Amino acid sequence: MSRLAVVLAFVLVSATMVTAAGDLSRQAPVELRVILGAKDAEYALSPKTWNLQTGKLYKVTFVNQGKMKHEWVAAEFSLTVWTRKVQVGGVEVKGVISEIEVGPGAQAEWYFVPIRTGTFEMACELEGHRENGMFGKIVVK
């Protein structure tokens, strides 16, 4: 009889743990401003390392202050996040995002929740841009 009580208590505790996180898409976002091309450094990708945590909602604002178009590509990372939306001007785009291109003077906001841990590469894949230093890594813990 007492053994049954212990088992029951364990089941109740487990159930509470599973439902604890709630709706991960509705939390206040952690903001991160990312420079993709700067006035004095056309091939800037800054910060070069992003330290993120699973389960948190992030709002990454890509800003291009350079003279050229730049892109942000992180193919593997993109498969390990849930995207709430991408916002550009008055437009919201929803769905899976694998690449974001930002023209000179433009900016875009990407809201997402990392799901898996790991270290991922990111870069501007336009020809020659990576060679000029436009790359970095994303560490998700």
- Under the rule (CB under 8 A), what is the footprint of other proteins? 42-43, 68-69, 126-129, 131-132
Task: Tell me the closest approach of the beta carbon of residue 124 to other proteins, in angstroms.
Answer: 11
Which residues are CB-contacts of 91 (< 8 A; sequence separation ≥ 6)?
Answer: none
Q: Toward other proteins, which CB reaches closer, 84 or 129?
A: 129
Task: Tell me the closest approach of the beta carbon of residue 42 to other proteins, in angstroms.
Answer: 8
Task: Tell me the closest approach of the beta carbon of residue 88 to other proteins, in angstroms.
Answer: 18
Q: Toward other proteins, which CB reaches closer, 59 or 130?
A: 130
Which residues are CB-contacts of 43 (< 8 A; sequence separation ≥ 6)?
Answer: 37, 124, 129, 132, 133, 134
> If DSSP codes are grouped into helix, strand and coil, which group holds residue 25?
helix
Beta carbons of 56 and 84 less than 8 angstroms apart: no
Q: Toward other proteins, which CB reaches closer, 119 or 132?
A: 132
Q: Toward other proteins, which CB reaches closer, 70 or 84?
A: 70
Structure tokens at 139: 């560490």
- In sequence order, the β-bridge partners of residue 24 are none
Task: Tell me the closest approach of the beta carbon of residue 41 to other proteins, in angstroms.
Answer: 11
Task: Tell me the closest approach of the beta carbon of residue 81 to other proteins, in angstroms.
Answer: 26
Q: Which helix (H) or strand (E) covers residue 73, if one does? A: strand 70-73
Q: Toward other proteins, which CB reaches closer, 13 or 75?
A: 75
Q: Which helix (H) or strand (E) covers residue 4, if one does? A: helix 2-19
- In sequence order, the β-bridge partners of residue 32 are 60
